[in-house]
Structure 1
Amino acid sequence: MAEHAMESKLRPAVELYTVAICFAAAVLCLYSPWAVALTPEIGLVAALAYALFGFIRLRQAWDVLHYRRNIRRLPRYELTSRQIPVSRQRLFMGRGFRWTRLHTQRLVEAQDPAVAHYVDPPTRYRLARGTERRLEQAPFPLSILARITAWDSAYNPLRPLPPVGGSPLLHGVEPDEMEVSLPLGERVGHTLVLGTTRVGKTRLAEVYITQDIHRIQPEVVIVFDPKGDADLLKRMYVEARRAGRDKEFYVFHLGWPEISARYNAVGRFGRISEVASRIAGQLSGEGNSAAFREFAWRFVNIIARALIELGRRPDYLQIQRHVVNIDALFIEYAQQFFAKTDPKAWEVIVQLEGKLNEKNIPRHMVGREKRVVAIEQYLAVKRVFDPVLDGLRSAVRYDRTYFDKIVASLLPLLEKLTTGKTAQLLAPNYTDLEDPRPIFDWMQIIRKRGIVYVGLDALTDAEVAAAVGNSMFADLVSVAGHIYKHGIDHGLPSAGSSADKLPINLHADEFNELMGDEFIPLINKGGGAGIQVTAYTQTLSDIEARIGNRAKAGQVIGNFNTLQMLRVRETATAELLTQQLPKINVLTKTLVSGATDTSDPEANTDFTSSSQDRVSSTSVPLIEPAHIVSLPKGQMFSFQVGGQLWKVRMPLPKPSPDDAMPKNLQELAKRMRSSYNEQAGHWWSASGGGPTLDFDPDRVTPPRPSVAVDTSGPTQEVP
């Protein structure tokens, strides 16, 4: 096959003619050398020469045939979870190739109408699918024919294509695939995965999370799942048990508080002011709301300081209680303060309280408890200075009606976090030893290299899910700042001087539902503490709509160094990738033909004709938004390592038996699947040879007791 200006693989494999002639000539020279006037020795040499040349041409013909087959149907790509490679240096993504100018050239050539019969399904395929539709409701003898044509087997010449949609050209332009991976050093720059609904984002997350759990040096794995994917929870638990890390596995789920671990988002902090920042940071700061947000911050800070001085750990329930009624906290703190500094003060306060009536109570103190008014009058005379007491005094001196108005923006947020059984999870009782549900915080999880699944039940209550998610992100930002300054083991007796960072793998599925202003510093500065964010969402507009500010959305996107894009439906989202790619020159072929006659009657020729194939160069984008819109399910473009574009198809897990899970987690997974994913389907395990991934339950190690989930009861298989 000679070298030409343009590569042409969508054509008949004409090399096979040469192969047939070479094979015949080799047989003739080997068995009948006398027929071509050769001696047996020379005939053997000639047969070998013909065979060698025939083999070369056969290899060239195979390249053409393989390319033509790959354009229409990709080979099966199946892996079990045990076969997913786990490396200390790289993150496995799937199989694919690096996209170059050659692949754009092949894509342009494949869209030529002249080669459509090599790209489009053949006539027999279309007839088979039409027969299946017509015989769908046919009686028994005829229905067998439809089942035969739909049989998903390599022995079926009418085998249907995998139900993944999209254009097979995008991956078929490179028949020689290789394992594609991302250097682990690039993950600290964060990864953004974009793709529309049901194209494989969550399944890609399972592949990544499986590797993070099994890495030889244990790493922290934190997964935020707003909608609640039962298969993702199951995969995490099964892989944690296989890796021998089930004791470090925690489940936090707002929808199932009975088995969920408990978490206090404001219970651990480096500075007391962080409590107010985490709560008030979720309030709107735009326009006139900024003043109310600042007041809310100050008021929550006053309450938090008072609780700390009283020896209590702040939580949402206590803060909500004292926002509604600050009088009780003022009285309690005053009792403790005077018991230490002025034991006789309380006698005077009781006397002042007895003299109060509706006429001598100051107007701005109307509605307050008499004891509060008495304490305020005593402090006004004694002029006692205490920062916490002064803050509480300033709060109770507000007019009650005016005070309720300025904290009106704070109360809805606190109500979301303290209503119903959610309060048991976010405001745990540390002294209740009868409650088997563990209590965790992020520093504890990081130090013990834990694995945490956070299910926020956003489909049931999106407002509460967003509030809890923002609280957790704000807490993580605080922990990241502490780790960046002091390290992970700061304050422990065995703390060493090692400067090595512990990778903290944070996977945020549907992260646009969780994102607030807290998320920006997490991805902007969290890398210095070892936090590696992998965020999954549908479109760029989801981020802008959530933040409400285009500039802030651009700030978020700009902090992701790796961009992985599955099929999207929004052109602006596709252009987020395509506009970063260069333009390249591709060759196009033009057929030119013409005829010229002559006016000379004595000339020997009446006319002349010519036919030419002209090759010209045209500048086109490396890929266009239309290519991303037409990606099949389970395939993506990965823009990584400072400008490299890779085309990847990933292995996707299929549902696995639940016999390796504790009974309570089996019930949780069963309810989650019926509640959230009943209509979603499992496209990757349907007919047509879509990629699948499974694990072998017989090789899973026996269950061990866990601090996070109940493994004491028997296990059972969920149908």
Structure 2
Amino acid sequence: MAQPHSVEVLLRPAVELYTVAVCLGAAVLCLAAPWSLALSPLVGLAGALAFLTFGTIRFYEAWAILRYRRNIRRMPRYVMASRDVPVSQHRLFVGRGFRWDQRHTHRLMQTYRPEFRRYVELTPLYRSVRRLEERLEFAPRPLPLLARVTAWDNPLNPARPLPPVGGLPRLHGIEPHEVDVSLPLGERVGHTLVLGTTRVGKTRLAELFITQDIRRRVNGEHEVVIVFDPKGDADLLKRMYVEAQRAGRAGEFYCFHLGWPDISARYNAVGRFGRISEVATRIAGQLSGEGNSAAFREFAWRFVNIIARALVELGRRPDYLLIQRHVVNIDALFIEYAQHFFAKAEPKAWEVIVQLEGRLNDKNIPRHMIGREKRVVAIEQYLSQVRIYDPVLDGLRSAVRYDRTYFDKIVASLLPLLEKLTTGKIAQLLAPNYADLDDPRPIFDWLQIIRKRAVVYVGLDALSDAEVAAAVGNSMFSDLVSVAGHIYKFGIDDGLPGASTGAKVPINVHADEFNELMGDEFIPMVNKGGGAGMQVTAYTQTLSDIEARIGNRAKAGQVIGNFNNLFMLRVRETITAELLTQQLPKVEVYTTSIVSGATDTSDPQGHTAFTSNTQDRITTTSVPLIEPAHVVNLPKGQAFALLEGGNLWKIRMPLPAPDADEAMPKDLQELADYMRQHYVDAGDWWESQGLPALQHEALPADLLDDFKQMAFADTAEDGRA
């Protein structure tokens, strides 16, 4: 029998087939010649049915053995078109698999035993055919055509090549009965972490999740989908657009891409805030706060806060360009704000200031004010003579009273960051001109995106300029954290007619290479963002990436500790694999051993010369449920998943099948083609030198014209608003 014994052994010959052959022969004999068995025709018919029934049972048991042996060497294909991905209102589909328990650990250990090697390793025919194909590659024609025949990927080929996924098929083949694996949507607010090395299926898993998030409707409303893609994956962009169009959400699709600012939507990371101090926090938060840099970071925060308060009082929306302009030249802002303040508080003060300015010369200007404009010196002298209190004016006054040389030194750490965000055409994206009605590119902010239930693709073009990509990504994350805090307190409809603090809208944030996008603000996002509806799915390669970015092991552990769901694809770092394996219990597995011996008799007069015995012993051994080596040997597209409070699942994702109606507009198709051509697969892309050629490469003029006329026709009014 297949499984009723104490020790389950599935790697063995299918001996049930012998019984099947005997039953089949007996049934034929009962039907064709019942007289040979001394049976009447009617009794022979009943006997044939009995033999066929028993033979069918034994054949089913034999088939289970044969299928198990086949799956150990090769898993059957699992292909699914995007339109066939199941979208549930209650669960998130992950793939097919099984819940891992003690039985699977026992079966996996058996595959490493030498007596079962012939059932696990590739057949001699397979190895011979592969060696032949290697030799035929350099053979004269027409012999290489034979290699195409042997490499035919069809079940009829006895030496059919394995799929190019690597790893050990036995890790999934030890369970022949797969089921659909899904995650309850209520568990997603606990956030999800996906770990896997380069090119093992992280993006495919992301496409699977994003497809469902875009198409899902809960209570008749779609969900918000925000995807951060630092490297720029063309297939991911295409998948998002196609799914948005399929779900009827093409008008809610926004594409923000630093590599193609001419066709990208625009975004102001510091234009919306709940408290004015958030502007300084988002900018200064990206500066180093370690060691001696902490003092310069604090000063940069104070200085940016002074500028932001002044801009708001003047009725201007802060952006990176305005802040950079006034960091370089604070005198102009001081004069402008003084005019604004005195026009309301002291209308005659300006006449006195003009008189003081006329009396100034190089001899009577204070030493610490040398290099400043004379009008700035005159305003400072006037304010020192009268008792006027205004917090914004006092802040600007304290800034201009610094010695110019000293001032330039203490803001030196702030200027490089602002230069990254305001250089070239990127400045048009991050500091949009709200008054330019002729620009068709829409302007969005996170609160607007959440209210519209929109779909946003953020391409940061990190391969071309990793520094700018990291700075923009940090700014967006910081802004998103601020919006999450606002939603947590007031709801998404705060300030709108009939607003209520009802149920939160699910906000699905997918962050690829998230370790390069996050700063200290990411910790409260995953720690407290669930209360605002944030559902973060983060993708990265190793734990060391997170620690290297944050620079603190304790903070890295704090980040990891806030992810309740873990998907572990193939990784190359043992410490990363142990994040999963050390959370699992040990189990008892059975081992069998044969003990034999012989003993000489001590009675020389007896009839027995010796005695012998043979024993089959069953013992138990405590072993880990899975080892880090098993995680390292996972095939591509397969993963271990720790879901719903620690339940271990072994899953495999469906391979994508092409859809007939996957079409994109000409503009986005051209963009995707450029991204696909220049996409570089790099494990540590942030350490690369980038692709200088892309920085000066422009899209064709006809593409830009078509895009302006077609792509943003539906959203131009929103941009003007």
Q: Paired residue for 1:44?
A: 45
Matched, 1:405 2:409: yes
Q: List aligned pairs for 1:230-245, cutoff 5 A.
A: 230-245=234-249
Distance in 2, Cα, partners of 1:25 & 1:581: 52
Q: Paired residue for 1:640?
A: 643
Distance in 2, Cα, partners of 1:239 & 1:599: 85
Q: Paired residue for 1:350?
A: 354
Deviates more, 1:284-293 or 1:152-161: 284-293
The alpha-carbon deviation at position 256 of structure 1 amounts to 0.7
Distance in 1, Cα, partners of 2:38 & 2:170: 51
Q: List aligned pairs for 1:8-87, cutoff 5 A.
A: 8-87=9-88
Matched, 1:520 2:528: no
Distance in 1, Cα, partners of 2:172 & 2:32: 46
Q: 1:231 to 1:449 in 2, by over 3 A?
A: same
The alpha-carbon deviation at position 31 of structure 1 amounts to 2.6
- For 1:616, what is the secondary structure of its paired residue? strand
Q: Is the CA contact (8 Å cut-off) linking 1:23 and 1:51 kept in structure 2?
A: yes
RMSD: 1.8
Distance in 1, Cα, partners of 2:604 & 2:362: 129
The alpha-carbon deviation at position 405 of structure 1 amounts to 1.3
Q: Paired residue for 2:625?
A: 622
1:106 maps to amino acid: R
Distance in 1, Cα, partners of 2:709 & 2:480: 24
Q: Paired residue for 2:697?
A: none
Q: Paired residue for 2:719?
A: none
Distance in 2, Cα, partners of 1:704 & 1:482: 35
Q: Is the CA contact (8 Å cut-off) linking 1:662 and 1:711 kept in structure 2?
A: no
Tell me which stretches of 4 or more aligned residues in structure 1 moved more than 3 Å. Answer: 654-659, 677-680, 703-712
- For 2:656, what is the secondary structure of its paired residue? coil
- For 1:544, what is the secondary structure of its paired residue? helix
Q: Paired residue for 1:225?
A: 229
Q: Paired residue for 2:545?
A: 542
Q: Paired residue for 1:180?
A: 181
Q: Is the CA contact (8 Å cut-off) linking 2:481 and 2:524 kept in structure 1?
A: yes
Determine which of 615, 625, 636 is the counterpart of 1:612: 615
Q: Is the CA contact (8 Å cut-off) linking 1:470 and 1:516 kept in structure 2?
A: yes
Q: 1:512 to 1:396 in 2, by over 3 A?
A: same
Determine which of 362, 367, 371 is the counterpart of 2:366: 362
Q: Paired residue for 2:266?
A: 262
The alpha-carbon deviation at position 42 of structure 1 amounts to 2.0
Q: Is the CA contact (8 Å cut-off) linking 1:255 and 1:457 kept in structure 2?
A: yes
1:448 maps to amino acid: K
Distance in 1, Cα, partners of 2:656 & 2:516: 25
1:481 maps to amino acid: G
The alpha-carbon deviation at position 404 of structure 1 amounts to 1.1
The alpha-carbon deviation at position 336 of structure 1 amounts to 0.9
The alpha-carbon deviation at position 4 of structure 1 amounts to 1.6
Q: Is the CA contact (8 Å cut-off) linking 1:247 and 1:708 kept in structure 2?
A: no
- For 2:152, what is the secondary structure of its paired residue? coil
Give 5+ residue unaligned stretches, structure 1.
681-702, 713-719
Matched, 1:588 2:591: yes
Distance in 2, Cα, partners of 1:84 & 1:659: 15
Q: Paired residue for 1:327?
A: 331
Q: List aligned pairs for 1:96-135, cutoff 5 A.
A: 96-135=97-136
Q: Paired residue for 2:378?
A: 374
The alpha-carbon deviation at position 99 of structure 1 amounts to 0.5
Distance in 2, Cα, partners of 1:31 & 1:473: 80
Deviates more, 1:13-22 or 1:587-596: 587-596
Distance in 2, Cα, partners of 1:534 & 1:253: 21
Determine which of 452, 459, 477 is the counterpart of 2:456: 452
Q: Is the CA contact (8 Å cut-off) linking 2:194 and 2:567 kept in structure 1?
A: yes
Distance in 1, Cα, partners of 2:712 & 2:11: 57
- For 1:653, what is the secondary structure of its paired residue? strand
Q: How many residues align?
A: 689
Distance in 1, Cα, partners of 2:709 & 2:104: 51
Give 5+ residue unaligned stretches, structure 2.
684-705, 716-721
- For 1:76, what is the secondary structure of its paired residue? coil
Q: Paired residue for 2:718?
A: none
Q: Paired residue for 1:469?
A: 473
1:352 maps to amino acid: L
Deviations 1:539-559 (A, max 9, x none): 000000010000000000000
Deviations 1:362-403 (A, max 9, x none): 111111100000000011111211111111101111111111
1:603 maps to amino acid: G
TM-score (norm 2): 0.93
1:358 maps to amino acid: D
Q: Is the CA contact (8 Å cut-off) linking 1:663 and 1:711 kept in structure 2?
A: no
Deviations 1:671-710 (A, max 9, x none): 1111114899xxxxxxxxxxxxxxxxxxxxxx99999647
Distance in 1, Cα, partners of 2:672 & 2:680: 11
Aligned-pair identity in percent equals 75
Q: Is the CA contact (8 Å cut-off) linking 2:81 and 2:657 kept in structure 1?
A: no
Deviations 1:123-157 (A, max 9, x none): 10011001000001222221121111101111111
Matched, 1:308 2:309: no
Q: Is the CA contact (8 Å cut-off) linking 1:204 and 1:650 kept in structure 2?
A: yes
Q: Paired residue for 2:507?
A: 504
Q: 1:707 to 1:449 in 2, by over 3 A?
A: farther
Q: List aligned pairs for 1:523-602, cutoff 5 A.
A: 523-602=526-605
Q: Is the CA contact (8 Å cut-off) linking 1:213 and 1:219 kept in structure 2?
A: yes
- For 1:188, what is the secondary structure of its paired residue? helix
Deviations 1:130-186 (A, max 9, x none): 100000122222112111110111111111011100001100000111111111110
Q: 1:378 to 1:484 in 2, by over 3 A?
A: same
Q: Is the CA contact (8 Å cut-off) linking 2:565 and 2:644 kept in structure 1?
A: yes
1:186 maps to amino acid: E
Q: Paired residue for 1:668?
A: 671
Q: Is the CA contact (8 Å cut-off) linking 1:247 and 1:707 kept in structure 2?
A: no
TM-score (norm 1): 0.94
Distance in 2, Cα, partners of 1:454 & 1:421: 16
Distance in 1, Cα, partners of 2:681 & 2:510: 24
Q: 1:104 to 1:421 in 2, by over 3 A?
A: same
- For 1:140, what is the secondary structure of its paired residue? coil
